[in-house]
Amino acid sequence: MKAFDEKHIKNVVLIGSAKSGKTTLAETMLFEAGIIKRRGTIEEKNTVSDYHEIERERGNSVYATSMHTEWRDFKINIIDTPGLDDFIAEVINSIHVCDTAVIVLNAQNGVEVSTEILWEYVDRNQKPTILAVNQLDSEKADFAQTVAEAKNLFGSAVTVMQYPLNSGAGFNCIIDLLKMLMYKFPEGGGKPEKLPIPGDELQKANELHNELVEKAAENDENLMEQYFQKGNLDEDELRKGLKIGMMNHQVFPVFCLSGKKNMGSGRMMGFIDNVAPSAAEMSPELTEEGQEVVCDPDEPTRLFIFKTLVEPHLGRLSYFKVLSGQVIPGMELHNEKTSATERISQLFVTDGKNRNTVERLKAGDIGCTLKLKNTFTNHTLNGKGAKGSIEPIDFPAPKVRAAIVAKNKQDEEKLSEVLNELQMEDPGISIEYNREVRQVILQAQGDLHLTITKWKLEHIYKMQVEFRKAKVPYRETIQKSALTSYRHKKQSGGAGQFGEVFLKIEPYFDGISPLKEFSVRDTETVELPWGGTLVFNNCIVGGVIDARFIPSILKGIMEKMNEGPLTGSYVRDVRVSVYDGKMHPVDSNDISFKIAGMMAFKAAFYQAEPLLLEPVHQVEVKIPDEMMGDVITELQSHRGAILNMENDQSMQIIKARMPLAELDEFYSSIRNVSQGRAKVHSQFSDYYPVPSEMQKRLSEEYQKSEIAELH
């Protein structure tokens, strides 16, 4: 396969809503370029993209798929991405490494909700953008309405390059405003005739052409002067102005397509060749230290790993972009994150599941390799003379949780290994073993994301697993002071056990008054690893408890704080003062005073008005004005407390507090209520008291489970 230089490589990502036709368009682009001899279809489950079993089973994309075409001496790398925001991580890493985003719009549905969500990432990265209005052959296609909605979302940068002469079931003609020609396609699509624009369309075409010329001219002073002098711009001048506008994020060209009938894709590919910027023309990447990485094959080699995929029977595939220099098989590169040296054994350019072996990839290109041992997504591999790691891709935090267990206990260790692999492959999920609630917690972007992850475990890794409700990590504390004592006495022949402890417990807070009723000999302050504070006062006088047993009393108290009396949750923010006790000259020992301290603390805790606290998150919901009432109702039904409301053009931003216990269900319900238009962000805030009836129920459930375990 030919090695292309950095000026002749174009990297594009296809993004858009589910069913907008991205996969079909990618198939047509490969067919047009001669990469494949026959176009597959979603219905026949034989497309180059969407080749995974789960994608063919569901009929939509789950993974981002890398492909390539060679079109008129240019190489176009194409990444086809999922349209559902449950798989947003697959879209984000693709946007990051591509130089042009092709946003595919369904002419029947216009700008859909998920397109709005995806646009945020394109806009944030300031990627040059093309709008491809697809499915113009559909009965309900409405090009004008789609463009109007695009202008409403994307702004005045939307620039019509083409318009359909006859959208709908008979669609076969496109008026091209750059070349000022009409493309007429044969039945079934393919190579079009180039014809003069019909007379009855000339006025409309000229008006739109003039708008296009003005848009191109306004991006460059020299072009503006040419425009004023000549009243027009030639085709090369137009291309130059449009490229500058795209790179400045001020021109989003609009193209007309029927991916299914192979109409218009060749013209868009030609535009990508001639106008869309290459990696060498884009702003340099930055290392975490702020160093610029210039896309130049003569610079030291630097690869950025943007995606990791574990394929059954094949192993780990690492997808990368060559940011500078060039890479060849056998090259040894240094991983800045892990300090490992990796040897590139093989190089591939992929077309879905097909791997095409190559001997060299140069700066700006995208490829993959097999079986890197210590290199994962967001890692940088450097050749000799290159230093520093590239700024990592920032993936969104997961939104929903589930506890996961292996149905077969013998698989528990294997499950841990498999989950680590899954997290490495999919940065949209998070896996943690929560010691507090004793569960393995899987976090994902949505309910569908959880379902797909479970499918992967069962079908790819052959692991039978079960999802359970993720427990909430509550906290326990007290509201008033209490005094109590406990005597531990055990005699069963030989040496016995004896220890008696008198103590006072009280709520601890910053600025608490010094202890007055007892004389404090020494104080130990423990900043608890789960949050909060324990202050332990030794108030023993007269040697009633030997000093060597005081640490054992503290140890017993800490053990009970690790598993609180109410619900078995961590205890926080208490002050404990040991002020009296008794010991036996023979039977007293460390274990005796540890047990006495633990049981005295437990008894006092129940007398001190125990309080159960729950984790509460700050939640921000951004929704259209007309959905305000429904969203507020949904917030309140999930125990949300509204803190603030703000306007943002036609959107409302609601800021609220919501218990973690309600968040998982809230995410699902708000997505349904808003038809997916709500954008929700949450972040842990603090612990707040649970309602009294809820505290009673949770405490009773815990006590019953404790009794059940004893029997």
CATH number of the domain that 426 lies in?
A: 3.30.70.870
Higher pLDDT, 395 or 678: 395
* 546-567 pLDDT tens trace: 999 999 999 999 999 999 999 9
pLDDT confidence of residue 113: 81
pLDDT above 80 (res 642): yes
Burial (CB count <10 Å: 0-12, 13-18, 19+), residue 289: exposed
pLDDT confidence of residue 228: 82
Residues 128 and 256 in one domain: yes
Q: Does 1 reside within a domain?
A: no
Total number of domains constituting the chain: 5
Neighbour tally for 701: CB within 10 Å: 11
Six-digit token string for 635: 């917030």
Higher pLDDT, 651 or 33: 33
pLDDT confidence of residue 709: 67
* 375-429 pLDDT tens trace: 999 999 999 999 999 999 999 989 899 999 999 888 888 999 899 888 988 999 9
pLDDT confidence of residue 586: 87
- 162 alpha carbon, distance to own chain's centre: 35
pLDDT confidence of residue 409: 86
CATH number of the domain that 370 lies in?
A: 2.40.30.10
* 53-84 pLDDT tens trace: 899 988 889 999 999 999 888 999 999 999 98
Six-digit token string for 312: 């059954």
Helix (H, G, I), strand (E, B) or coil at 480: coil
The residue from 262, 281, 300 where one domain ends is: 281
SS3 for 283-307 is CCEEECCCCEECCCCCCCCEEEEEE
pLDDT confidence of residue 625: 83
Residues 41 and 123 in one domain: yes
Q: Does 170 reside within a domain?
A: yes
pLDDT above 70 (res 153): yes
Q: Kindly give the residue spans of alpha helices, DSSP state H, lying in 538-659.
A: 550-562, 590-607, 628-637
**Which residues 6+ apart lie within 8 Å of 624 measured at CB?**
650, 651, 652, 674, 677
Residues 118 and 169 in one domain: yes
Distance CA(47)–CA(78), nearest Å, equals: 14
- 1-16 average pLDDT score: 87
Q: Does 671 reside within a domain?
A: yes
Residues 454 and 358 in one domain: no
Residues 244 and 293 in one domain: no
Question: pTM above the 0.85 mark?
Answer: yes
Residues 374 and 408 in one domain: no
pLDDT confidence of residue 110: 92
Helix (H, G, I), strand (E, B) or coil at 326: strand
Q: Does 273 reside within a domain?
A: yes
CB–CB of 695/612 below 8 Å?
Answer: yes
* 463-510 pLDDT tens trace: 999 999 999 999 999 999 999 999 999 877 667 899 999 999 999 999
Bridge partners of residue 652, in order along the sequence: 623, 647
Residues 39 and 10 in one domain: yes
Supply the range of the domain harboring residue 405. Answer: 400-468
- 309 alpha carbon, distance to own chain's centre: 16
Residues 592 and 678 in one domain: no
CATH number of the domain that 491 lies in?
A: 3.30.230.10
* 246-304 pLDDT tens trace: 999 999 999 999 999 999 999 999 999 999 999 999 999 999 999 999 999 999 999 99
Place of tokens 């700006």: 364
Burial (CB count <10 Å: 0-12, 13-18, 19+), residue 444: buried
Residues 520 and 666 in one domain: no
The residue from 281, 307, 337 where one domain ends is: 281
What is the average pLDDT value for the chain, to the nearest integer?
92
Distance CA(354)–CA(51), nearest Å, equals: 10
Residues 449 and 484 in one domain: no
Q: Does 702 reside within a domain?
A: no
The residue from 224, 251, 281 where one domain ends is: 281
pLDDT confidence of residue 613: 97
SS3 for 381-429 is EECCCCCCCECCCCCCCCCEEEEEEECCHHHHHHHHHHHHHHHHHCCCC
Q: Does 405 reside within a domain?
A: yes
Q: Does 503 reside within a domain?
A: yes
Residues 438 and 310 in one domain: no
DSSP 513: P
Q: Does 145 reside within a domain?
A: yes
CB–CB of 279/9 below 8 Å?
Answer: yes
Specify the DSSP element, H or E, that contains 175. Answer: strand 173-176
Q: Would you place residue 648 in the very low, low, confident or very high pLDDT band (cuts 50, 70, 90)?
A: confident
Residues 410 and 508 in one domain: no
* 174-231 pLDDT tens trace: 999 999 999 999 988 899 999 999 999 999 999 999 999 999 898 888 888 887 878 7
pLDDT above 80 (res 48): yes
CATH number of the domain that 71 lies in?
A: 3.40.50.300
CATH number of the domain that 646 lies in?
A: 3.30.70.240
* 584-610 pLDDT tens trace: 988 999 999 999 999 999 999 999 999
